[in-house]
Structure 1
Amino acid sequence: MAGDAKKETAAEIGLHLQDLVLDSSDVGEFLNELAAYSAGSLSKPGLSVYCGITVIRRKRALTIASSNDCARAMDELQNTFGEGPCLTAMKEMATIHVPDLRDESRWPDYVHAVGGQGILSILGVPLPLEGETRAALNLYSPEAHGFSGEDIAEAEDFAERISKNLRLALRIAQLTEARNDLAAAMQSRTTIDLAVGAIMAQNRCSQDAAQQMLNRASNSRNIKLRDVAAGIIASISEGSAVHTHFDE
């Protein structure tokens, strides 16, 4: 019976995480909801747990979500000093436990900086992602020895479950970013091509010659090529904006 209850709880967690992904309007909202949900799920009666989620992308650590201001401050101090239990958890891909910050000798600069934050125990649990991107679930307790062996095992199991949803959220964010970059590139290309066409018409020259004129104007004025092109289009179209039309 106990096994069935455990499976049922796991299924409920999975369904809730799916709902978070589907119901969130953007990735940022999902991640903050995920941090709040993680904190609530791992808290115990009479003892609250705070949660932050940190990601390392392109060799830079970023706090992408937190359940409250305290968790965000603890995470950002780690990022500032470049050391701490959660950063170590990501680098070593292993759970890092700090039972009592007052007795901790690792990361001395970080430990000294967080002395007045009201946190006494920390748990950093790595979240397996893809490629070189790494992440960690950062858990904070205001009590010394706030995480028992059972709590640590539960946090590790929970981290494994949410990592799939986090991978999905980050992939959606990357696809959205790539789409936006492509749309911006197409918009710039349209503006430049229209300006080249205008120069060709005004100077009765070839496309290559018109492109060279545009490049020279950009270099001599130290202005981006797209901005020079936009100025040319605005001067001959009474300020009308240029639109790129494509099917999504």
Structure 2
Amino acid sequence: MSARTTPRSDAGTRADAGREALDELQYLFADGPCLTACKTQETVHVADVATDERWEGYLSRVAEHGVRSILAVPISLEAGARAALNVYSTEQGGFHPDAITTAETFVAQTSKALMLSVRLAQRSESAASLKTAMESRTAIDIAIGIIMAQNRCTQMEAFSILKSVSSGRNEKLRDIAASVVASIGQAEPETHFDP
């Protein structure tokens, strides 16, 4: 296996479409080297699609696309997510042991970058969720204070009133709270949140 950069062209677009078609075939057959690598988390090497007896239907179909050998290397991800890198060759025995080792090393390094990317995305989503929750909580707390002052009631009673109106109008609690705050001429409260 050699790594090279190919300029994008019509030929490159056709090649990408061809690889996508090959991947879609595995999903159609619900089995194949890539899916097996995902399940087992072990590298799968098909040296010759014409003689390999696993996934016969799938392999005969990829042979129609000029594929002669396949390498599928599992990508380690966290939280039960599974993926694999699928590499196709137009030559029988297209993946020598050194090429397989190189692919596995590449995937191991890529796995680390993907895991970091997933963690950062999860952190960003968590921060956004916390910010939204804090903004809702601020409006609700201010509304409870307003209801307490207007009705001379306890915090629990004011919250109960707010919940009752929310339920009766079939609107979210935070929306009712925002309307209570707005009803006394106040702008929507600002919440400072540094993740």
Q: Same fold (TM over 0.5)?
A: yes
- 1:197-212 maps to which residues of 2 (within 5 A)? 197-212=145-160
- 1:1-248 maps to which residues of 2 (within 5 A)? 41=3, 68=16, 71=19, 83-98=31-46, 99-100=48-49, 106=55, 111=58, 118=65, 120=67, 121-141=69-89, 143=90, 145=92, 147-150=94-97, 151-237=99-185, 240-248=187-195
Contact kept? 1:83, 1:107, Cα under 8 Å: no
* Cα separation, partners in 2 of 1:218 and 1:169, compared to 1, 3 Å: same
Counterpart secondary structure, 2:74: strand
Structure 2 alignment gaps of length 5 or more: 7-11
The aligned residue for residue 8 of structure 1 is: none
How far, CA to CA, are the matches of 2:53 and 2:189 in structure 1? 60
Query: Over residues 168-221 of structure 1, what are the superposed CA-to-partner deviations in whole Å (9 max), with x where a residue is unaligned?
Result: 222222222222221121112112112222222232221111111111222233
For 2:55, the aligned partner's letter is R
Contact kept? 1:42, 1:155, Cα under 8 Å: no
Aligned-pair identity (%): 44
Structure 1 alignment gaps of length 5 or more: 1-38, 45-49, 51-66
Counterpart secondary structure, 2:42: coil
Deviation, structure 1 residue 93? 0.8
For 2:114, the aligned partner's letter is L
How far, CA to CA, are the matches of 2:164 and 2:91 in structure 1? 66
Deviation, structure 1 residue 167? 2.2
- Give the alignment's TM-score, normalised by structure 2: 0.70
Query: Over residues 85-118 of structure 1, what are the superposed CA-to-partner deviations in whole Å (9 max), with x where a residue is unaligned?
Result: 323212211112344389775295xx49x86x95
Q: Which has the larger radius of gyration?
A: 2
* Cα separation, partners in 2 of 1:247 and 1:175, compared to 1, 3 Å: closer
How far, CA to CA, are the matches of 1:233 and 1:69 in structure 2? 55
- Give the alignment's TM-score, normalised by structure 1: 0.57
The aligned residue for residue 5 of structure 1 is: none
How far, CA to CA, are the matches of 2:66 and 2:75 in structure 1? 22
For 1:214, the aligned partner's letter is L
Query: Over residues 112-141 of structure 1, what are the superposed CA-to-partner deviations in whole Å (9 max), with x where a residue is unaligned?
Result: 9x86x9573543211223453433223345
For 1:184, the aligned partner's letter is T
Q: How many pairs does the alignment contain?
A: 183
